Homo-oligomer: A and B are copies of this chain.
Amino acid sequence: MLLAYDQGMEHGPTDFNDDNIDPNFILDIALKSQVFTGLVFQEGVAEKYYPIGGVDKKNYPPLIIKLNGKTGLHKGEEPLSLQLTSVDQAIKLGAVGVGYTIYVGSAHEEQMMVEFRRLCDEAHAKDLIVIAWMYPRGKQVEGKENSKDVVAYAARIALELGADFAKLPYTGDPDSFAWVIKSAGATKVLVQGGSKIEEAGLIQEVTDFMKVGATGLAIGRNIWQATDPVGISQKLAKIIF
């Protein structure tokens, strides 16, 4: 159960309010809820906010550094997200794992697959966990970003490329998602939280995909945009663990 907070890069401050714009607010949710098994930051935020050592660190979830990233300003372009941070820099910041987004279907997909594989081998050689953010995007998969076949293909690529975990969008129903999980094989599946939805729907969704074999959830906006972030975190944790 990962708490994701790289939206400042991917979407910009429009996702934030006066509270959650501050990374300390997110660290606080993690500290108080004690249910997250990982915190996802870009390097800059980790460097300036995540406690590097000492007593405090023990109470926070382990750090996952997002190695690539892009802004959301490029409407109508085929998405490309490239390595910003090195594996060694992630280790220096105390990370136990790294994340990398592949825009499956994008005209630049091959470039990201090449970069991911190289980083994946390096991270494994240095004992880090590797999480692949597998997001169908671009004109070749337009309108099919959540379809069974496209999401299952995304899951399979994560396996063929050697990711330990694949973060995937939910297909909307447990039956089709069971096929996605089967396609991922030995690569474990984390479901992407996505935009904020109402609580009952979220809980139903999580219950559904956990039942068919998902390993967990990588969630952001549905936690730190919630009125009771700690409460909803703990409710979701009960379903997951």
Contact = CB atoms under 8 A, between A and B. Distances in A.
Interface of A: 6, 8-9, 12-14, 16, 18, 21-23, 42-45, 47-49, 69-71, 73-75, 77, 80-86, 89, 104-105, 107, 109-110, 113-114, 117-118, 121, 140-141, 149-150, 152-153, 155-163, 179, 182-183, 185-187
B141 A84 contact: no
Contacts of A44: 158-163, 187
Nearest to A82: B114
B156 A23 contact: no
Contacts of A47: 162
B117 A179 contact: no
Given A9-B156, A160-B6, A162-B44, A140 B84 contact: no
A153 B43 contact: no
A160 B86 contact: no
B73 A185 contact: no
A160 B8 contact: yes
B109 A182 contact: no
**How many copies, total?**
5
B9 A187 contact: no
Contacts of A113: 69-70, 82, 84
B161 A84 contact: yes
A159 B45 contact: yes
Nearest to A70: B110
A140 B48 contact: no
Given A71-B104, A75-B140, A161-B44, A84 B9 contact: no
- The list of the 7 closest CB pairs from A to B, nearest first, reads A44-B162, A12-B153, A48-B186, A42-B160, A84-B117, A9-B160, A13-B183
B86 A121 contact: yes
Contacts of A86: 118, 121
A149 B84 contact: no
B110 A80 contact: yes
Nearest to A105: B73
A153 B84 CA distance: 18
A103 to B, nearest CB: 11
Nearest to A46: B162
27 contacts: A8-B157, A12-B152, A12-B153, A13-B156, A18-B182, A21-B182, A22-B185, A42-B160, A43-B162, A44-B161, A44-B162, A44-B187, A47-B162, A48-B162, A48-B187, A70-B109, A71-B153, A71-B157, A73-B104, A73-B141, A73-B153, A74-B107, A74-B140, A82-B113, A84-B113, A85-B117, A89-B121
